[in-house]
Structure 1
Amino acid sequence: MIHPTLLKKQRLYFGILLALIAATGILSMGMGYSPLSYDRLLPAIFGNGTFKEDFILFSIRLPRIVITLLAGMALALSGAILQGVTRNDLADPGIIGINSGAGVAIAVFFLFMPIEAGSFVYLLPLVAFAGALVTALLIYACSYNKNAGLQPVRLVLVGIGFSTALSGVMIILISSAEREKVDFIANWLAGNIWGTDWPFIWALLPWLVVLLPFTLYKANRLNILNLSEPVAVGIGVSLEKERIVLLLTAVALAASAVSVTGGIAFIGLMAPHIAKTLVGPRNQLFLPLAVLIGGWLLLLADTVGRNLLEPSGVPAGIMAALIGAPYFMYLLLRK
């Protein structure tokens, strides 16, 4: 049973985070290469705007805001699952190579497969999932010891090695590609939000709609996996089965997000840690907050980045890395 004080604290932070997301979203709607007056936002939203206001708001700004929110939520949830499954506070889909695996699969698909405009958007998450899944299984196999089980520190080191190797594969692919396609892959690697249209939202949304409730349903299993292996086995949990199911969930969330946002790291590292600091390590409490924190962090990074340098701005992935890399070093030194 969760103490009422903790539930009250969770609801308070939940409301604060919703307010932060709303405030950042409103700022993001008005700011940009073609700024919108804030006193014209409500009329434009309710259909009383000019053609220019409607175009900027509904075709450019709003889809990008929704995409960054959904992708940040998916990355945060993926990071929280990975940290629980591996019992390693440094686990993140961008750091341990899962995003790189998805990126290589997307690059191969984009460079060498025939692309149809109608199905391209919806195939991307599936292609990214396939690449990320193969990478995750290889990392898991290399980190697992028959006698000692999964070794958390080894998983991070193996994941970083895979990430570096896959970056080399990406460079080889780029060197043999056409200029236009190279530009796309370079933007993807930098974490430049490129899927900024409504079809990309419909491609990403079903993954979150299914996997977010499923992860919350599995929250108690994640609590048990954070205990030592003998205790978890004694309770009657099938460790390997639960780990594989949750690992597949984390891979699917990360792959679906990066398929439309590019290679973004550190969101999945920071959001769960901030949420745990606020309400403690119990998954039922911190997972909903981590999801909101991840969405807000990526939205904030994208809003600041695209208005920092005109006209192209700074990719959200680089902005997230500027915040996340020092945080990663802090955690590494602390642990």
Structure 2
Amino acid sequence: MKRKERNPIIVLSVLFFLILLCFFVSLNLGYIGLGPLDVVKTIFGAGTDQQQLILFEFRLPRMVLALLIGAGLAIAGAVLQGITQNDLADPGIIGINTGAGLAVVLFIFFFQGSITSLNTLSIFVMPFAALIGGSLAALLIYLLAWKDGISPMRLILVGIGINAALGAVLIVFQLKMNPDDFMQATIWLSGSIWGADWRYVLTIIPWVVLLIPLAIIRATKLNALTLGDDVATGIGVAVERERRILLAISVALAGSCVAVGGGIAFLGLVAPHIARKIIGVNHQLMLPATALIGALLLLIADTIGRNVLGSSEIPVGLVVSAIGGLYFIYLLIKVNRKK
């Protein structure tokens, strides 16, 4: 039975409305609760000093960060799945996130000496360090996977191996940190936007605002690549050139998001799959839907992590991994059944 086509404008509008709804609900929730009326009054400048502090200095920056990081990682995953022609591709699975995280830890270890000594300039430099680390990881994966071209399955398998190797190196440098920095690095690498402020928002905005539209602009090329290298070449697409450009966009998005949000895995795997199910495989429509779904999922995960244990907090990356891990197992079972 043919699936009924959904109106993309309606789908995108519903997703945007859900983000607004979740955003408002999340503003009300936390260790110190704020009622809906208090939130509205505070937004318009009529709240108390305490309410303004809670809303504008603690909740709003991390919620905006959740939206930006969610959208960025989701698009990175969608692009990676498109260029590898593999539905199981994700920056957190094949080593790009780990490479970016390792570069940030090395930057802190050698140039800062301590995570607590990070200043504003260092925070703005971290995405560039993450970009270098993610790019080197991607280059290493690309070179090792190359054999008369790139096989999607070989790229995934090599990426998983590189991810494990970089993870081991990362642990070595973590163990050389002092106990306080070790704990902070561990929490951050598990995926945490705790303690975020507006400096981190300003750090990631240029990357997300520039790279997501760039990925959407190249959606037609991505559509061609998903048809296979032979077909894409036949219709005039420079396959390897486009693959490298799109891979660079994916790496830059993943690296910048890791720099401020830590190692949030599986989001780039789950969001594109949901988008394809509700809006189709055309990347010109699927990529905007993916960005909205990624933002929504991470905002929900952050809200759950902040509130499920009361005064304690669960890193958002663990909440996403709990959801994404189950979905990953489902995909593996689905792939095996098709075989």
TM category, shorter? over 0.9
Local SS of the residue matching 1:150: coil
The 5 Å alignment of 1:245-260 reads 245-260=245-260
In the alignment, what sits opposite 2:109?
A: 111
Provide the C-alpha distance between the structure 1 equivalents of 2:194 and 2:101, rounded to a whole number of angstroms: 14
The 5 Å alignment of 1:207-246 reads 207-246=207-246
CA contact (8 A) 1:194 1:260 kept: no
Gaps of 5+ in 1: none
CA contact (8 A) 1:194 1:262 kept: no
In structure 2, the CA distance between the partners of 1:195 and 1:81, relative to structure 1 (3 Å rule), is farther
Q: 1:104 offset after TM fit, Å?
A: 0.5
- Deviations, residues 52-89 of structure 1 (Å, cap 9, x unaligned): 00000000000011000000000000001000111110
The one-letter amino acid of 2:85's match is R
The 5 Å alignment of 1:1-335 reads 9-114=7-112, 117-146=119-148, 149-194=149-194, 196-335=196-335
CA contact (8 A) 1:85 1:247 kept: yes
Provide the C-alpha distance between the structure 2 equivalents of 1:209 and 1:189, rounded to a whole number of angstroms: 24
**Root-mean-square deviation over aligned CA pairs:** 1.3
- Deviations, residues 221-272 of structure 1 (Å, cap 9, x unaligned): 0000011211111111111110111000000001111111111011100111
Provide the C-alpha distance between the structure 2 equivalents of 1:333 and 1:306, rounded to a whole number of angstroms: 32
Local SS of the residue matching 2:7: helix
- Deviations, residues 97-150 of structure 1 (Å, cap 9, x unaligned): 10000111011111111366130111011000000000011111111211xx21
The one-letter amino acid of 2:317's match is G
CA contact (8 A) 2:120 2:199 kept: no
Provide the C-alpha distance between the structure 2 equivalents of 1:284 and 1:195, rounded to a whole number of angstroms: 35
- Deviations, residues 298-317 of structure 1 (Å, cap 9, x unaligned): 01011001111132311110
CA contact (8 A) 1:103 1:131 kept: yes
Local SS of the residue matching 2:62: helix
Provide the C-alpha distance between the structure 2 equivalents of 1:299 and 1:293, rounded to a whole number of angstroms: 10
Local SS of the residue matching 1:75: helix
Local SS of the residue matching 1:193: coil
CA contact (8 A) 1:128 1:259 kept: yes
Provide the C-alpha distance between the structure 2 equivalents of 1:209 and 1:193, rounded to a whole number of angstroms: 19
Gaps of 5+ in 2: none
How many pairs are equivalent? 328
CA contact (8 A) 2:58 2:195 kept: no
CA contact (8 A) 2:141 2:155 kept: yes
Provide the C-alpha distance between the structure 1 equivalents of 2:312 and 2:140, rounded to a whole number of angstroms: 37
CA contact (8 A) 2:71 2:293 kept: yes
* Superposed structure 1 runs of 4+ greater than 4 Å apart: none
CA contact (8 A) 1:111 1:181 kept: no
Provide the C-alpha distance between the structure 1 equivalents of 2:118 and 2:173, rounded to a whole number of angstroms: 21
Provide the C-alpha distance between the structure 1 equivalents of 2:150 and 2:41, rounded to a whole number of angstroms: 56
The one-letter amino acid of 1:132's match is G
CA contact (8 A) 1:264 1:317 kept: yes
TM-score, normalisation: structure 2 = 0.94
TM-score, normalisation: structure 1 = 0.95
Provide the C-alpha distance between the structure 2 equivalents of 1:277 and 1:80, rounded to a whole number of angstroms: 13
Provide the C-alpha distance between the structure 2 equivalents of 1:195 and 1:81, rounded to a whole number of angstroms: 30
Provide the C-alpha distance between the structure 2 equivalents of 1:229 and 1:190, rounded to a whole number of angstroms: 36
Q: 1:195 offset after TM fit, Å?
A: 5.7
